[in-house]
Structure 1
Amino acid sequence: MSGNMGANIRRERMQRGWSQARLAREICRVAEVQCEPVGRQEVSRWETGKRTPREWLPFIAAALGVPVDVLTTPQAPAEPALPTLADYLPTDDPLAPLGARTGRRIGMEQVGDLQRRVHGLRLADDVLAGGDLIRPALRELRSAVKLYREASHSEEVGRELLRQIGELGQIAGWIASDAGQHSEAEQIYRLGLSAAKQAEDHTLAGNLAGSLAYQLSNTGGEVEGIKLARAALDGAGTDAPAKARALYLDRVAWAHTKAGQVQPAIRALGEASEAMSQDSPGNESPPYLYWVDSGELQVMESRVYTELRRPLRAVPLLRDVLSRYDATHTRELALYLSWLAVALCDANEPEEAVAVAERVISLSADVASERTAARVRIMLARLEEFHDVPGVSALFGDAR
């Protein structure tokens, strides 16, 4: 019964667009108590069936505005169950050992070497584009998979090696996607997801699944992108680090945005911000999330509002982000400026949009990124609506 009750509580909460922290506050309000007895983690335990609400049940029902029996009566699913991350694993097992392991014995030293190379590749992606990095990334991935399948190692070493293959799969998949090799990227993401699941690293699996969901959302697979982004968030679990949950919620927001679903997108943005507010020095996140901070959440928020054609919200956010953005990150700078140019078009400010677009074209001229090239095409298509404005025709000549 507790499992059904937990599912009912979660369903009612999600229908209202509330976070677990919001529900905890509402329960404390109707119970007229301080919020210490009930917090987000307690709500999470109820929803996952780890704990039964018992004396809190009437207050939960009152907070949600439903009778108690709505929470205690098993409900037939209204629609097919959402997919889980297991649905996205490769059909075969690309990480299966090649028979008996007869290769050299490896230990944590070799895993540490791989970890440093993976992080080096991640840092390189901050300043270089996918077209520049795709070959070394694929070489590293093939080498790491071969090492795992052929070398002899302990169970602990094998698990850590799988974790590094998962991290390498995420960054290599991202690089392949940036280079426009979307089919290759999807295979890499799925391989990394398999490694993360075998290593039982749910946070890493969520990062890989969310990365693939982001690609699907951007390449015509909006419905599948929403499903996978949600599966990534659910698979990571409520115990995932705050930064991870914030990132996965941002990807949910983007997936809904690309599908044209305004309210779910804005709701997910709010939940991402709330998750990020729970980050603290004692709440340790994996090193690969070093780049996730409040500024990155602001970037996603501004992009969502641009896509939803709400320039009055998008333009100030983008200008604020760009005023302090690292100029060495050329690709990202060009991408974010392209969204500003589009938002300025929506705000009927074509003269400013042309000035920003000129900078985008200049920055992206030598960047081997299909994402950047696609954004330039979108930006120019929007500016074409203002072909009578002085400067626009000159811009198109430069772009050609």
Structure 2
Amino acid sequence: MDRLSPNPREVVAGLLGDGRLLHACAERDMGAVFRMLNARGVSTRRIAAAVDITQGRLYDYMNGKSRVEKLTLFEQIADAFHIPGHLLGLARRSWEPAPTTAEHERTDRPPPDGDDLVAMDHFRSADRQTGGGRLYGAVVRHLSDRVAPRLVDIGSGPQVFAAAAALTEMAGWMAHDSGHDDRAAQHFACALPLARTSGDFPLAAHIAASSSHLALETGDVAAAVGWARTGLELAAQGPRIPALTARLHTMQARALAVASQRTPATHALEAAHRDLEASPAADHPWLSPFDAAALASESALILRDLELYDDALSYAEQAVALREAGRARSLALSRISLVDVHVRRGDLDSAVSVGHDLLSTSPTLGSVRVVQQLDGLRRLLEPHRGYLPVREYLARFDDARHARMLLLADLIPPSPGGTTA
């Protein structure tokens, strides 16, 4: 046996929070699993010996020339590398812990780990005020150091997979807030199979809603609609949480509005309002809140895209009024939407008035998303610079942006030669 080759069980343990491994297992693509092990230093000789196959056969699997088909070989692979049986569609392996409650008796999600919830709440609270750019590394380290090792602990239950899913989804949002949408998509892709493994359908639906939002932000309207529908299907399999289904209907409405599908977008938005207003909030430890302020903010965007500007204005003003002072990023985004609607309605004086309020946004707010939307707002105002109040505002805006970019230089590289990104 190769002495310098790492222990494959330890390598697998470190990969159980990786969506690529979970996807490969779900597809029963053992060639992909073997490639991942080899890429992390496990020699092909050690892999072949562990599962009792020749290196030639191993190379065939790794190169996609053939696939593992026999049940006995799947069992050998699971036992050799300690891949939990359910990930490969197998019965619980002899080395796995026995469940404290039979699977068919589980009617509710598992209780969350208290330490993970405390960490989640702390990260969430700080993120609302300081932005994801300052916290992304801390969340990823927490996942790597505190959560991932417990995914293979024989004493751990489904709640650990739920914690891993929730924190991975949070890392995705922080990556998105930092301007790294590709990285955000990878985190969301990792989070969903973890949530499915935990058996927490509301959490899985929540992650699908996040994927819908990201798809819309990156211009993939069809994927945004698809993810919202997937989320609604997942939500229907778990306990009813009106705020969750309201968020999913809202994401669906946003994508349909961008696609100029007026009637279905309106129906989806109406469903969101009905869900949020008809029932009291149901508690779920891992879901970030979707409240009246969030719905008002999203409604303003939907109605703006449908060119119903008077209705959009009403919701945009409501969103600003409902936002707490302690939620700097949400308040800034709501004000940006309000200025946007004022401009589209031709009310430049109101746009400038709210725009001045935006300049008070903390310059240290570590949100690339806010900076990008502020720059988009500047582009919207630029054609109106012939109007003196707009021209004066843009001069103040550029001064404030320069100061902001200096303070956020560690997060946002300055764009070459201009005030707009």
Q: Is TM more than 0.5 here?
A: yes
- Find out whether 1:294 has 2:276 as its counterpart: no
Which amino acid counterpart does residue 166 of structure 1 have in structure 2? A
Instruction: Give the alignment of 1:154-173 within 5 angstroms.
Output: 157-173=156-172
Instruction: Give the alignment of 1:349-360 within 5 angstroms.
Output: 349-360=347-358
- State the 1:399 CA deviation: 2.6
8 Å Cα contact 2:293/2:322 also seen in 1: no
8 Å Cα contact 2:206/2:287 also seen in 1: no
Which amino acid counterpart does residue 243 of structure 1 have in structure 2? A
Counterpart for residue 203 of structure 1 = 202
> SS of the counterpart of 1:339?
helix
Closer/same/farther in 2, CA of residues 363 and 91 from structure 1, 3 Å limit: same
C-alpha distance in 1 between matches for 2:261 and 2:21? 27
- Find out whether 1:92 has 2:24 as its counterpart: yes
C-alpha distance in 2 between matches for 1:89 and 1:261? 38
8 Å Cα contact 1:229/1:255 also seen in 2: no
Describe the superposition over 1:247-299 as per-residue Cα deviations: whole angstroms up to 9, x where unpaired.
Answer: 11111112222333222221111001111233236xx3303446222332222
Gap runs ≥5 in structure 1: 1-86
Give the length in aligned residue pairs: 306
> SS of the counterpart of 1:374?
helix
Closer/same/farther in 2, CA of residues 177 and 312 from structure 1, 3 Å limit: same
- Find out whether 1:391 has 2:371 as its counterpart: no
Range with greater deviation from structure 2 (339-348 or 380-389):
380-389
> SS of the counterpart of 1:391?
helix
C-alpha distance in 1 between matches for 2:260 and 2:142? 38
- State the 1:98 CA deviation: 9.1
Please identify runs of 4+ aligned residues in structure 1 that moved more than 4 A. Answer: 87-90, 93-98, 107-110
> SS of the counterpart of 1:367?
coil
Gap runs ≥5 in structure 2: 1-18, 26-32, 37-77, 84-94, 101-109, 399-421
- State the 1:123 CA deviation: 2.0
- State the 1:364 CA deviation: 5.4
C-alpha distance in 2 between matches for 1:240 and 1:260? 30
Instruction: Give the alignment of 1:143-222 within 5 angstroms.
Output: 143-153=145-155, 157-222=156-221
8 Å Cα contact 1:97/1:150 also seen in 2: no
Which amino acid counterpart does residue 273 of structure 2 have in structure 1? S
How big is the alpha-carbon RMSD for the aligned residues of Structure 1 and Structure 2?
3.0
C-alpha distance in 1 between matches for 2:288 and 2:183? 26
- Find out whether 1:245 has 2:245 as its counterpart: yes
Instruction: Give the alignment of 1:1-400 within 5 angstroms.
Output: 91-92=23-24, 99-100=81-82, 111-153=113-155, 157-237=156-236, 239-280=239-280, 284-289=282-287, 291-363=289-361, 365-400=363-398
8 Å Cα contact 1:311/1:347 also seen in 2: yes
Which amino acid counterpart does residue 216 of structure 2 have in structure 1? S
- State the 1:320 CA deviation: 2.6
Which amino acid counterpart does residue 264 of structure 2 have in structure 1? P
8 Å Cα contact 1:97/1:149 also seen in 2: no
- State the 1:173 CA deviation: 1.0
C-alpha distance in 2 between matches for 1:145 and 1:259? 40
Closer/same/farther in 2, CA of residues 90 and 213 from structure 1, 3 Å limit: farther
Counterpart for residue 23 of structure 1 = none
8 Å Cα contact 1:97/1:148 also seen in 2: no
Closer/same/farther in 2, CA of residues 288 and 299 from structure 1, 3 Å limit: farther
Which amino acid counterpart does residue 24 of structure 2 have in structure 1? D
Closer/same/farther in 2, CA of residues 361 and 257 from structure 1, 3 Å limit: farther
Closer/same/farther in 2, CA of residues 213 and 109 from structure 1, 3 Å limit: closer
Closer/same/farther in 2, CA of residues 90 and 258 from structure 1, 3 Å limit: farther
State the TM-score, normalized to the length of structure 1. Answer: 0.70
> SS of the counterpart of 2:315?
helix
- State the 1:146 CA deviation: 2.7
8 Å Cα contact 1:130/1:178 also seen in 2: yes
8 Å Cα contact 1:306/1:339 also seen in 2: no
Closer/same/farther in 2, CA of residues 264 and 90 from structure 1, 3 Å limit: farther
Describe the superposition over 1:292-337 as per-residue Cα deviations: whole angstroms up to 9, x where unpaired.
Answer: 2233222211221123332211112222332242112111111110
C-alpha distance in 1 between matches for 2:346 and 2:293? 26
Closer/same/farther in 2, CA of residues 290 and 198 from structure 1, 3 Å limit: closer
Structure number with bigger Rg: 2
Range with greater deviation from structure 2 (270-279 or 185-194):
270-279
Which amino acid counterpart does residue 385 of structure 1 have in structure 2? P
C-alpha distance in 2 between matches for 1:181 and 1:340? 26
8 Å Cα contact 2:256/2:264 also seen in 1: yes
Closer/same/farther in 2, CA of residues 161 and 90 from structure 1, 3 Å limit: closer
State the TM-score, normalized to the length of structure 2. Answer: 0.66
Which amino acid counterpart does residue 231 of structure 1 have in structure 2? T
Closer/same/farther in 2, CA of residues 136 and 114 from structure 1, 3 Å limit: same
Which amino acid counterpart does residue 142 of structure 1 have in structure 2? S
- State the 1:159 CA deviation: 0.4
Closer/same/farther in 2, CA of residues 290 and 216 from structure 1, 3 Å limit: closer
Range with greater deviation from structure 2 (216-225 or 115-124):
115-124
> SS of the counterpart of 1:371?
helix
C-alpha distance in 2 between matches for 1:344 and 1:276? 27
